[in-house]
Structure 1
Amino acid sequence: MRSLILALSVVLTGCSALNPAEWISPYQLDIPQGNTVSEESLARIKPGMTRSQVRFVLGTPLLNDPFHADRWDYAFRLVRDGKLAENTRLTLYFNGDTLARTETYGLAKPQAASEPAAVVVAPATQ
């Protein structure tokens, strides 16, 4: 009987090292928050556009600060499995009713039309 209790205690002690909470977790939803700004829509934004033109392309800004009436912020944040997967921000500055400049964080800046596109030449195969 003693050997059975000893064997049982050794087995149960060994199983306590396997913590199910470490490898089993509840499902967590992906949580997108904010305005999604694609590279195509960002490329369509040009200085000199009016506020209504910008709103037509990008939609209503997420943050419209009453203390900074000439600034619009488009923020986007995506959390997957409880971890931050994507965090982007586009800030537009207006001078009166026209767009003066843009600032981006986490977004690829669009290539200007005057800049040549990068050309990749693959070696010829035989």
Structure 2
Amino acid sequence: MKKTIFLLLASVSLSACSLLPEPYKTPVSQGNVLKQEQVAQVKVGMSASQVSYLLGTPMVRDSFAPNEWHYLYTSLYADDNTKKSEIDHLVLIFDNDILQKIEQR
């Protein structure tokens, strides 16, 4: 009889945990956080040092294409039912340390 009552109380108390709301999930951001104001200041014809001053160090400098700077930013938001991710990719192409082209992928 005591075992039955104990098992009944244990099952009721453990099932109450499922009624609790899920904990807060922090958005995860990785990479270079670039604001639109910063990107808008970058213009073709700027030097590499000026661009580096405005945007910071690029996330990727490809050894096979040393004149390309890649700025990557990923945000992951998770709520109860869905996961959303945003990816921003800015590519700057230089020639002789002068910015020639801006691509947003």
Q: What amino acid maps onto 2:67 in structure 1?
A: D
Equivalence for 1:36:
33
Equivalence for 1:73:
70
| Structure 1 gaps, min length 5 | 1-19, 106-126
Distance 1:39 1:28 in 2: 26
Q: What amino acid maps onto 1:94 in structure 2?
A: F
RMSD between superposed Cα atoms in Å: 2.0
Number of residue pairs aligned between Structure 1 and Structure 2: 85
Mean CA deviation greater in 78-87 or 36-45: 78-87
Equivalence for 2:97:
97
1:51-81 deviation digits (Å, cap 9, x = unpaired):
1000000000011111110000001110011
Q: TM-score, normalised by structure 2?
A: 0.71
Q: Which has the higher helix share?
A: 2
Q: What amino acid maps onto 1:84 in structure 2?
A: K
**Percentage identity across aligned positions?**
34
Equivalence for 2:7:
none
| Structure 2 gaps, min length 5 | 1-17
Q: TM-score, normalised by structure 1?
A: 0.60
Structure 1 ranges of 4+ moved more than 6 A? none
Q: Which has the higher strand share?
A: 2
